Amino acid sequence: MLSRGTRLLAGAMVAVCMVLVGPSAPSGALFAGSLPVGAVRDVVPNRVMTWNICNPCEQSNVDRAAEIATYAPQVIGLQEACVRDVEMIRDYLERLHGLVYHVEYGTVLRSWGRCGGVPWNPGAFGQAVLSAAPMTDPVNVEYPDGGSEDRGYMAVTTAVGGRPVRVFNTHLAQRRQEAVRADQVRVLAADVARHDRAVLLGDFNAVPDAPELTGIWALAADTDPQCRPSPTGTCKPTTDWQSKFDYIFLRGTVPLKHRVRPTPYSDHHLLHADLDPGQEALTSLVGLVASYGAVHRVRAVCTGGGVRQRQRRSHRS
């Protein structure tokens, strides 16, 4: 029979091990609260989401997974994402919430300061896309000029609402680098223009009427029909400093509804939209043209016997 001193020593060793290694349950899971009332229990097949998860913010990946599980999107684009964090988020979504996702990464740099690791093998940092459906044709592009930090975009083909769609996820250059973002948008827009149906997610680090976003507005509409690049547009802020930097741009499909949800786990809000995959691209185009106040131009072209198309010059990175 073990002496009292031996039992105390064994208990102390267990406590030390839990501090150094962590519990066998996911980190924080012993104390993680349940999902809020009204949370989604299964993946919503026509829902897409974007979220800059904030790095470095030292937030629990258990909490991040719970935030995602509350709305259970079919597709989510993450920015400022370390591969190690995304792996843990994906694991917790399945183990704690029963939501199974495929994953693709858009790594743009390796940074010990951002993602840990060891100096000779730092963690990978960039974008990631989680999708409940399999993804094909992944592309990862680093912008020729990232600005003060390497930046890029990624793209995959997957299913939203039972229909194939090209999904883009990007993070543009940091604030006060307008010219750099303009060049990045030209690279990104050239790729988006190749697809009739596309969803463009990301943190653009620019407000809706910023000149550098003109190339995106020419191709797609915001998921919020009231948000336009004009003084008459009403755009809900997506950051703690009350600016709209985060977008879900739609090309060839239209939204049914959208929500912006503040979260204590990032300085960027969660933004998600439910899409109507049955709508044709023309519906989105009409809304886009109206946002520029150019309906009379379209009428003039149409009554002249057809709709003219302009050739767009492609830019390769």
Alpha carbons within 13 A on the beta-carbon side of 171: 28
Instruction: Say how far residue 42 (Cα) sits from the centre of its chain.
Output: 20
Find, among 282, 278, 288, the residue nearest to 307 by Cα. Answer: 282
Give CA separation, 238 vs 31, 109, 152, 174, 261, in Å: 29, 25, 21, 16, 8
Q: How far apart are CA 62 and CA 69, in angstroms?
A: 10
Note if the bond before 56 is cis, omega within 30 degrees: yes
Compute the CA torsion angle 114, 118, 124, 125 (nearest 10 deg).
Answer: 0
Q: How far apart are CA 259 and CA 247, in angstroms?
A: 12
Digits of tens for pLDDT over the chain (317 positions)? 555 555 544 554 444 444 333 333 444 444 444 566 556 679 999 999 999 999 988 899 999 999 999 999 999 999 999 999 999 999 999 999 999 999 999 999 998 888 988 888 899 999 999 999 999 999 999 999 999 999 999 999 999 999 999 999 999 999 899 999 999 999 999 999 999 999 999 999 999 999 999 999 999 999 999 999 987 789 999 999 999 999 999 999 999 999 999 999 999 999 999 999 776 544 445 444 544 443 344 344 334 443 333 333 333 33
Return all residues near 267 (Cβ < 8 A) that are at least 6 apart: 52, 54, 57, 239, 240, 241
- Find the helix packing angle between 281-291 and 295-303, rounded to 10°: 130
- Model-wide pTM > 0.85: no
Q: How far apart are CA 263 and CA 242, in angstroms?
A: 13
Q: How far apart are CA 163 and CA 161, in angstroms?
A: 6
Instruction: Say how far residue 147 (Cα) sits from the centre of its chain.
Output: 20
pLDDT at 66: 97
Helices then strands, counting H and E runs in the chain, come out as 8, 14
pLDDT at 175: 87
Q: How far apart are CA 30 and CA 43, in angstroms?
A: 25
**Tens digit of each residue's pLDDT (9 = 90 or more) over 123-140:** 999 999 999 999 999 999
